Amino acid sequence: MNKKVILKNLGLKDYKETWDFQETLFQSIISIKSNNRNQNTTLDTPNHLLFVEHPHVYTLGKSGDLSNLLISEKQLAEKQATFYRINRGGDITYHGPGQIVGYPILDLENFFSDIHKYLRLLEEVIILTLKEYGINSERSPGQTGVWLDSGTPFARKICALGVRTSRWVTMHGFAFNVNADLGYFDHIIPCGIKEKAVTSLNVELGVKEVSQVEVREKILKHFAALFGAELI
């Protein structure tokens, strides 16, 4: 089993371009797995972890409800935002500058064959990262992602998750609000969950800006430890 994970920081990149790049990596892993099975070979499958920031964009998962997008096409243009229906699970979410978006494209058979465990470990990566900033976060029963004050009237989401898997290969991933413009969340019902707030790390810390380089380093440390991965 290949536990090496190829790390790539894409910087600020268009959502559709990044989605296409993910699909290329995703399909190449599936192709290797298919060839291994059909030809009785044992070629290693690669694993990837992409970090990226996107220009303002709203994405709707395959089971999502379009009515959770609260603005028109014209208003999207005025906000310099785009919109895509995509092939991950979950409902609608927002990506934009100030967010750390992580796309693990992994062959889970290199690690463990358990989608539930995969999602819980991604959440744990963020929970442990927040703990380093003195912030206690948690899961919310029945709601994927990372939350603060879950189960109270002050519950607010700080990290959203949405993934696609096929033949134990993953794509899409997490969006962690670090220095996010939370005003853009006002134009959707985030993840289709009504009357729940969204927050960002800089807001919780009461500072103007948090070093995203530092946050990424902490995420990588916890990702490598929890997945038993070697980052290259």
Sign of the four-CA dihedral 189, 193, 194, 196: negative
Q: Which two tokens stand for residue 178?
A: 């670090």
∠ CA(225), CA(19), CA(48), 5° rounding? 25
Residue 93 among known ligand-binding residues: yes
Q: Over 90: is that where the pLDDT of 94 sits?
A: yes
Q: What values do phi and psi take at 96, rounded to 5?
A: -170, 175
Residue 173 among known ligand-binding residues: yes
Return the pLDDT at 65: 87
Active site residue 191: yes
Residue 224 among known ligand-binding residues: no
Beta strand pairing call for 82-85 and 57-60: parallel
Indicate the number of domains in the chain: 1
Closest among 44, 49, 165 to 105, alpha carbons compared: 49
51-74 per-position pLDDT tens digit:
999 999 999 988 788 888 888 889
CATH code, domain carrying 103: 3.30.930.10
Q: Chain-centre distance of CA 152, in angstroms? A: 24
157-170 per-position pLDDT tens digit:
999 999 999 999 99
In angstroms, the first-to-last Cα distance of the chain is 16
Of 126, 158, 169, 191, the catalytic one is 191
Tokens 């900033």 belong to 133
Q: Over 70: is that where the pLDDT of 183 sits?
A: yes
Residue 61 among known ligand-binding residues: no
Residue 228 among known ligand-binding residues: no
Return the pLDDT at 18: 97
∠ CA(107), CA(140), CA(117), 5° rounding? 20
Tokens 């290329």 belong to 24
Return the pLDDT at 190: 67
Q: Which two tokens stand for residue 32?
A: 């290797």
Q: Over 80: is that where the pLDDT of 225 sits?
A: yes
Rounded CA gap, 76 and 79, in Å? 5
The pLDDT confidence band at residue 191, using thresholds 50, 70 and 90, is: low
**What pTM, to 2 d.p., does this model score?**
0.94
Which residues share a beta bridge with 159?
146, 176
Residue 64 among known ligand-binding residues: no
The residue range of the domain holding 160 is 4-231
